């Protein structure tokens, strides 16, 4: 069996190797290598370039889109209180999406060659090298593609003049999420709220990887019962 004996060579481009791990992939990808130096993904320079994203590209590219979308609803006649409500609603929709995507898509259990390959690109790479600062936020090209179904989803649940502001709010939620995620890995928070969020997320990486899917809050983990047990609670049992 090829899959059984396959060893990943960390010094070679990873993306087309990980698929060969087969059923062993899930265990491999959840054993983190804590090192700021990231691995090579593709042999091809162009594809390799697309996999590297500095964190600040996210606000620089997407905040103008956020403001433009919101301004569209303003031009269609909505006043400030309504706009604020739509933006908040969009952020709220995003938090649910953040949880759902992370739990059900990013942590889908794969074992086929292409299943593993796609999983690695989507989220596996971040669990394998959680401190790789250039493979942490979502590449803008991928976000741009995902904006299309997101826009259609928002359109489905709103009237035309509300769609842009709701979409803008959702996109703003995404920007806040990705920046928060980067900060939780690379920042040194000194106040309580971000410190606890950091602990909460590192727990998802290094202790219980099938719990604690929320990044910007633990709300949906509470609602859907995926809150990790604290160390103290575990000892008590």
* Residues found near Zn ion in the complex (CB under 5 A): 107, 127
Buried b (16+ CB within 10 A) or exposed e, 84-99: eebbebbbebbbebbb
Q: How far is the CB of 162 from Zn ion (least distance, A)?
A: 32
- What's the first-to-final CA gap in the chain, in angstroms? 42
Please identify, using beta-carbon distances, which residue of 54 and 157 lies nearer to Zn ion.
Answer: 54
Structure tokens at 171: 């996109």
Please identify, using beta-carbon distances, which residue of 165 and 197 lies nearer to Zn ion.
Answer: 197
Please identify, using beta-carbon distances, which residue of 90 and 98 lies nearer to Zn ion.
Answer: 98
Please identify, using beta-carbon distances, which residue of 90 and 124 lies nearer to Zn ion.
Answer: 124
Q: How far apart are CA 160 and CA 141, in angstroms?
A: 26
Closest among 171, 130, 131 to 150, alpha carbons compared: 171
Q: How far apart are CA 205 and CA 126, in angstroms?
A: 9
Q: Could you tell me the sign of the dihedral formed by the alpha carbons of 61, 62, 63, 65, in that order?
A: positive
Structure tokens at 223: 């609602």
Q: How far is the CB of 107 from Zn ion (least distance, A)?
A: 5
Rounded (5°) CA angle 195-94-118: 90
Q: How far is the CB of 213 from Zn ion (least distance, A)?
A: 7
Q: How far apart are CA 215 and CA 198, in angstroms?
A: 9
Q: How far is the CB of 63 from Zn ion (least distance, A)?
A: 22
Q: How far is the CB of 184 from Zn ion (least distance, A)?
A: 7
Please identify, using beta-carbon distances, which residue of 31 and 191 lies nearer to Zn ion.
Answer: 31
């Amino acid at each position: 069996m090829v899959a059984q004996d396959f060893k990943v060579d960390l010094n070679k481009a990873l993306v087309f190797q990980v698929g060969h791990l087969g059923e062993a992939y899930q265990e491999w990808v959840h054993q983190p290598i804590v090192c700021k130096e990231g691995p090579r993904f593709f042999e091809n320079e162009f594809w390799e370039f697309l996999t590297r994203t500095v964190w600040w590209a996210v606000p620089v590219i997407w905040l103008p889109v956020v403001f433009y979308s919101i301004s569209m609803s303003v031009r269609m006649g909505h006043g400030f209180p309504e706009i604020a409500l739509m933006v908040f609603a969009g952020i709220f929709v995003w938090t649910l999406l953040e949880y759902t995507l992370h739990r059900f898509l990013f942590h889908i259990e794969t074992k086929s060659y292409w299943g593993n390959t796609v999983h690695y690109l989507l989220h596996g790479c971040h669990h394998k090298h959680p401190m790789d600062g250039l493979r942490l936020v979502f590449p803008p090209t991928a976000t741009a593609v995902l904006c299309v179904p997101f826009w259609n989803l928002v359109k489905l649940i709103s009237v035309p003049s509300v769609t842009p502001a709701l979409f803008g709010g959702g996109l703003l939620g995404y920007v806040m999420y990705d920046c928060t995620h980067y900060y939780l890995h690379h920042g040194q928070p000194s106040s309580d709220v971000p410190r606890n969020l950091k602990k909460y997320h590192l727990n998802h990486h290094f202790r219980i990887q099938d719990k604690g899917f929320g990044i910007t809050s633990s709300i949906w983990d509470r609602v859907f019962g995926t809150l990790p047990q604290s160390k103290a609670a575990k000892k008590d049992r």
